[in-house]
Amino acid sequence: METQKLSLHHLIRTPKTATENAPVIILLHGYGSNEEDLFSFAAELPDHLFVVSARAPRDLQPYGYSWYDIHYTTTEKISNDEQAIESRDLVATFIDEVVANYPVDANNVSLLGFSQGTILSYAVAFTYPEKIKNVVALSGYLNHKIFEVSDDKKYDHLNFYCSHGSVDQVIPVQAAREITPFMELNNLSHVYQEYPVGHGVAPQNFYSFKAWLEKRI
């Protein structure tokens, strides 16, 4: 199957058995990376999944892409939340385009993010819960400035798998640990796990979220 021209450049892996209504997972990479990064383990994902790996819209020099700018000062890291909100809405539009252009199930859409892609995945799921079923959130955190939970929307169908490296030097694990009280406060289905690694995904972490995902797609 040919890759369609949609609002985000992307790669696809079709299910091993052709179907008209496949569950779909959309991969959102981290800051400074590209669509080939997470796509590198697409072959290891469940065979019946339609896999889409999206490229972030902002071109970084000398290479790579981002969902939004990050500025570093001597004391802190500042995210461009306005750009993050733009990318959040762009991903929501991209989900609609994927559903319209590929043989996938609109009611079985999962997001998998890493780092900045995870921050964005949370924002998309909480802003557009009707578009999402599952979120695999790797090495990220909740940026409350780019989403809000609304009393007017339903979230009880959402499932979250959240994990983090206990010695992450990019996003401290303390930031990730805020996920559990937030999920419990909002009565959301979630798993939170830590692994003794830095800013990356350990093999045990991969097999854990793969098994979690297989039960929910």
The per-residue pLDDT for 151 is: 87
Domain boundaries, the chain: 10-214
Q: What pLDDT is recorded for position 62?
A: 86
Q: What pLDDT was estimated at residue 128?
A: 97
CB 17 within 8 A of CB 50: no
Residue 17: the pLDDT is 84
Q: Which of 175, 178, 164 is nearest to 209 (CA)?
A: 164
Secondary structure E strands in the chain:
10-13, 22-28, 50-54, 58-59, 65-66, 70-72, 77-79, 104-114, 134-138, 159-165, 189-195
* Per-residue pLDDT, 217: 92
Q: Which helix (H) or strand (E) holds 191?
A: strand 189-195
Radius of gyration of the chain (CA): 16
Name the stretches of the chain with pLDDT < 50.
Answer: none
Rounded Cα–Cα distance for residues 97 and 93 (Å): 6
Give pLDDT, residue 31. Answer: 95
CATH 3.40.50.300 fits 10-214, yes or no: no
pLDDT tens-digit readout, 169-195: 999 999 999 999 999 999 999 999 999
**Residue 20: what pLDDT?**
87
